[in-house]
Each structure stands twice: as structure tokens, then as C-alpha cells.
Amino acid sequence: VRYEELNLIYGLDDSEIHHKFFDEKQALSQLINNCTDYMNVDLAVLYAPDLDLLLQNLNPAHQDLDLASALKTVQDTLYSYIVSTEKTLVINQNRDTDWIDSNLYNNNKILAAPIMLTKHHIIGVFVLINSRNKADFSNSDRKLCDVLASEAAKIIQARRDNITGLINRRGFTEVLQQALTDIKTASTKYSLLFIDIDQFKIINDTSGQKAGDQLLNHVSGIINKELSQHHIIGRLGADEYGVLLKFCDINEAEQIAEAISHSINQFRFAYQGKLFDVSVCIGLVELLPDMDDFSVPLSAADMACNFAKGLGRNRIHTYHSSDNEMIRHESEMHWVSRIILALEEERFQLYRQNILPLKKEQADELHYEILLRLKDENGNLIPPFNFIPAAERYNLMSKLDRWVVKNTLIKMAAVLQQDSESKLSCSINLSGQSFTEPGFAEFIIERINKSVVPTDRICFEITETAAVSNMSQTIKFMETLKGIGCSFSLDDFGSGMSSFTYLKNLPVDYLKIDGYFVKTMLANKIDYAMVKSINDIGHVMGLKTVAEFVENDELLQELTKLGVDYGQGYGIAKPEPFE
């Protein structure tokens, strides 16, 4: 392998290709530009028809190459050949191939690799072209072309939703940001729809994740049928879609929203003999030149959608800045700046609450759940229920979770350094936004290594709802951290309608019995039975159980009789600063 090739391969991860400010087209363009720079090929081409992408970089030293003819050949015949064979094509002096195109084939040497998102799913082709008087493409050239195609697939995949095939939130926000740039320089009208499936969780819980996935694909297909080729649809969250309408003012957008709503309302979702009515709520907003960041129209459309949902199912609401009710919703956005400022000024504070062992053999354990508080500008403590909803809605939970992980490990390390005999262990809550975020597991491992806190002292709590919203990513995240010795607790267990079904697939160590059942179990036979059954099934599966909301001694005594392993609540200990 030549030095230039090695430089390119090892430079990919460090280059700006994956920088968060690059959109998909910029990142792929940078990739082919790097390729011509380092490998000195005449022409590099990336063609992905389903993404409407045809990118090329012609080496300035080889302007004699017929660019138009080469691009036409890539589009007309070479791409379909690569799709049919699913193999990298090499054409040198030896023309041993069943693909023939007179112009490009006769006058050039060609190296073409499939861009594969998954096995048998080719999204595009990566092509390198040289004139015939150049040296043959070597085996190392072929390997490098495969690496570049794989890198292109990673860039594309990072902006694609695995279930629907639509662009994901990252890809959609990049497109939205570009639209905001366009309206500042042109008179093009854009409008934005934020679409949320009504009662999606009921279908997902009662019929399972496969049913939910099928419904998502059906809905995305129905939405697509109502759109023209100028419009772009993306999946923004579990049951949320964004639609960017180009050449549409707000009146035209309202007509399209009505058409989408009507079509979905006419659809009946059938799964394993069951029929479900399906409807959506839609929020609309028109993009305006004074909107500088994509978060402004996206938040406005989201708020309009939430307002529509508050009115009931199958509703549509248009955002207007003068709308009094919308102004009330918009006040929630104030929390976003407050949270960011509090992070910058280190005004968050860790609290801890004791989790008490209820069995004699575990009596020497010292375990706490880590809790978060915010000090406002005047030094007053703000409980999490005031700011966590805003952080979740506006995707700030990852920032908060990173702060909590980092500072918890620092405090744990200090305690263990002062007292080497300490039995201290801690449970850290993580949001679904965090453990499905690329690189978050690596961040945790890095912080653990820096802290030198034993991994068997660290437990991560995830809620049942967050865990089941993306099972495959959740399990991968958990297995990564369990592999280094950390443990996991499933919080609020029993709150979902298919809890036991999901439990079999999640590699957890502890079950936290939902406090909703615990706090009334002495007065309600059904709640008592729920606590007992969750505890029994947890033990059958080899898991430890934790009862939440233990508010008094009577509850504590009854939970001990049932054989619950741990108790937590104000009847045991109130939260206290972690100092």
C-alpha cells in the first residue's frame, strides 16, 4: 500500500468528513475530493439515485476526459451492473468482464465498488476512473476503493432511519437548515409539518415491536403518496415525522396536511387478526427569513403538534407567533437556554438517595441512586420535573447525562480514595436519547477509565419506556457496558403493557418495581399482586428487585416478607446532596 493510500485511510476518522456541521452532500463531496487528492485519479464519482446524488471531482490535470459521457455511463449502465453483481468491478488492460460500455470501457481504466447499507441493499456506487495510459489499478487500490465505499455508506447510514429507510432526525435537520439558507437568498416558499401518530404506544405495547415497525412503514408510505418530488419526509422520533414542503406557503401546506390526515384516517392497520384505527396530529409552520437556526421552525411545529394533541386525536394546528396559547407553549423554550446556561455555569448539583438492602446477607452494601437538581440564578433548588421535560423535548438530555456521569464518577472516586473499605456503589439514570446516541457508550468507558472507579460499583438505570422504544440499540449499549463489568437496572417496571415480553430480551440485573403499585399495595389487592408477581418473576430470572416509593415502615415490613431485595423511598431516606 502506497504512503498516500495509508495517509487517506488513517486520515478518514480524523478528517472533517464526519464533522457535525457537514451535511450529507458536503461530507460525501469531501470524501471524493480527498480521494482524487491522495490517489491522483482522473475522476472520482459517487452516484446514489435513490438519494438524488451524483457527485464528481475531476482532477484539474486531466481535463481532457469526457466528463459528461463518463457520468452518463455511470448512471445508465455501470450502476445497474454493480447492483446486479454486488461486487467491486476492476477494469485494467485485461478486460475480463461481462460489462461493456463502448466509450468508457474502451478508453479508460475503471474501479467501481458498491455502497452497501446492509447486505444486499446497495444504495449507490463509488467509481474511480483513469485514462488507459496510467498504471493499472492494483489490489491495494481495490481494497482502498472498498474502504471509501464503506465510508460513504457510514455517512449515508448516519442520516438514515433503519426501520423506514427515511432520513433520520440528523439528516432532516440538515435539509431544514439548508432551506433556511435558501429563503434568505431566494423567494422560495417553504413550510414544515410535524406529524405525530396518535396512540402509537398502545399498538406497540399490545401487539409488539414488529407491529409498531410495520405501522411506521405504512404511515410513511401514506405520507409519501401525498407529497410531490420537491418535498422531503424524515422520521424524527419514535412516532414522529417531519415533512419539508418546498414551493408551499402556509395555505398550501394546510391543504397538504389535511390530505395526509384524511388518507391516514381512512387506513386500517391489520396485524395478526387485529384491526386498528390510525390517526395523526399535525403541527404546521411557515419558514421565515428571520429564522436563523433549524431549531426555531422545528420547535414551533413541534409545539403546534403538541397543542393539536391536547385538543384530541386527528387534529391539525398552525403555528402563529401571535397565538396566545402557542405563546404559553413557547414559554417552555425558555428552559432550553436556562439549561444550557446552567451547564456552562456549573449550577447543576448531584443528590443521592439510599437504596436499602432488605436481606441480611446484603446488609453491608451502601448503594445510592444519583439524582439531579438545578440551582437557579438566585441559588434556589429546582426539582427535575421542572426542567427534564423541556430537556427531553429539545434533545438536551445527552448533555445532562454526560454531566451527571462525569461528576458522579469524580465524587465516587473521591469517596473511595478517602476510604478504601467503602462499599459505595451508585445507580445513574440515563435517558433514551443518550444511550441511543452514537459514541455515548465510548464516552462512559473513557470517563470510567479516567476515574478508576471499579466497574462493579456502577449501575445504570434506564426506564422501561425508553428501553423498548429502540430495543436493538438499547441491547447493544447495555451489552457494551456490561462487558466491562457495569450493571443495569430497569426503572418503573410494570408501567408498560407488555413489560414481561420485553424483559426476556433485556440484559438487566435489577428490576425497580413501579412505585405506582408499591405505594398502594397494602390497600389494593391488585397492586399487591402486581408487586408480588414482578418480584417472583424477577427472582426466577435471576434478577434482584427494588421497590420504589417505600413511604412507611408498614410497606417496608411487607416488602421484606415478600422477599424483595431492596427498598427505596422517603420512608427509608430522603434525597441528600452528594458531597
Domain extent, residue 525, equals 334-577
- For residues 241 and 234, the answer to whether their CB atoms sit within 8 Å is yes
Final residue of a structural domain among 290, 321, 352: 321
DSSP state of 521: T
**CATH code, domain with 202:** 3.30.70.270
Final residue of a structural domain among 292, 321, 350: 321
| Average confidence (pLDDT) over 311-321 | 88
Q: What angle do CA 576, 577, 579 make, to 5 degrees?
A: 130
Q: Specify the pLDDT at position 451.
A: 93
Question: Domain check: are 59 and 20 in the same one?
Answer: yes
Cell of 487: 450493571
Question: Domain check: are 442 and 488 in the same one?
Answer: yes
Q: Specify the pLDDT at position 14.
A: 47
DSSP state of 573: -
Question: Domain check: are 442 and 544 in the same one?
Answer: yes
Question: Domain check: are 273 and 339 in the same one?
Answer: no
pLDDT at 472 over 90: no
| Average confidence (pLDDT) over 290-299 | 88
Would residue 162 count as lying in a domain? no
Residue 314 — pLDDT band, cuts 50, 70, 90? very high
Note the pTM of the prediction, 2 decimals. 0.51
Would residue 163 count as lying in a domain? no
Would residue 275 count as lying in a domain? yes
Q: What angle do CA 430, 434, 436 make, to 5 degrees?
A: 120
Strand partners, 547: 513, 567
Question: Domain check: are 181 and 132 in the same one?
Answer: no
DSSP state of 76: I
| Average confidence (pLDDT) over 317-338 | 71
Would residue 237 count as lying in a domain? yes
Q: How many CB atoms lie within 10 A of CB 41?
A: 25
Cα gap 557→299, rounded to integer Å: 48
Cα gap 336→55, rounded to integer Å: 38
Q: How many CB atoms lie within 10 A of CB 33?
A: 14
DSSP state of 294: T
What digits encode the pLDDT tens for the residues 190-248? 999 999 999 898 888 888 889 999 999 999 999 999 999 889 999 998 899 999 999 99
Closest CA to 153 of 122, 120, 116: 116
Question: Domain check: are 360 and 503 in the same one?
Answer: yes
- Looking from the CA of 471 toward its CB, the CA atoms found within 13 Å total 17
Element (H, E) at 562: helix 553-562
Question: Domain check: are 339 and 310 in the same one?
Answer: no
265 CB-near residues (< 8 Å, 6+ apart): 277, 278, 279, 314
**CATH code, domain with 552:** 3.20.20.450
pLDDT at 63 over 80: no
Closest CA to 31 of 128, 123, 108, 122: 128
Final residue of a structural domain among 321, 351, 385: 321
Question: Domain check: are 111 and 209 in the same one?
Answer: no
In angstroms, what is the C-alpha Rg of the chain?
A: 28
521 CB-near residues (< 8 Å, 6+ apart): 527, 528, 530, 531, 555, 558
Torsion over CA: 470, 476, 480, 483 (sign): positive
Cα gap 201→188, rounded to integer Å: 38
Give the CA distances from residue 284 to residues 236, 278, 413, in Å, rounded to whole numbers and listed in that order.
15, 20, 49
Closest CA to 235 of 172, 147, 155: 172
Would residue 328 count as lying in a domain? no
- For residues 526 and 495, the answer to whether their CB atoms sit within 8 Å is no
Among 12-21, 249-258, 291-300, 448-457, which is the least confidently predicted range? 12-21
Query: Residue 62: exposed, middle, or buried by beta-carbon count in 10 A (0-12, 13-18, 19+)?
Result: middle
Would residue 353 count as lying in a domain? yes
Question: Domain check: are 466 and 530 in the same one?
Answer: yes
pLDDT at 308 over 70: yes
**Burial readout 116-155 (b: 16 or more C-beta within 10 A, e: otherwise):** bbeeeebbbbbbbbbeeeeeebeeebbebbbbbbebbbbb
Question: Domain check: are 218 and 93 in the same one?
Answer: no
Q: Specify the pLDDT at position 11.
A: 52
User: Which range among 95-109, 148-162, 184-198 has the greatest average pLDDT?
Assistant: 184-198
Question: Domain check: are 480 and 568 in the same one?
Answer: yes
Question: Domain check: are 502 and 356 in the same one?
Answer: yes
Length of the chain: 579
**Burial readout 516-541 (b: 16 or more C-beta within 10 A, e: otherwise):** ebbbebeeeeebbebbbebbebbeee
Would residue 327 count as lying in a domain? no
Into how many domains does the chain fold? 3
Residue type for 361, please?
E
**CATH code, domain with 70:** 3.30.450.40
Q: What angle do CA 305, 213, 310 make, to 5 degrees?
A: 20
Would residue 210 count as lying in a domain? yes
Closest CA to 204 of 501, 522, 579, 565: 501
pLDDT at 32 over 50: yes
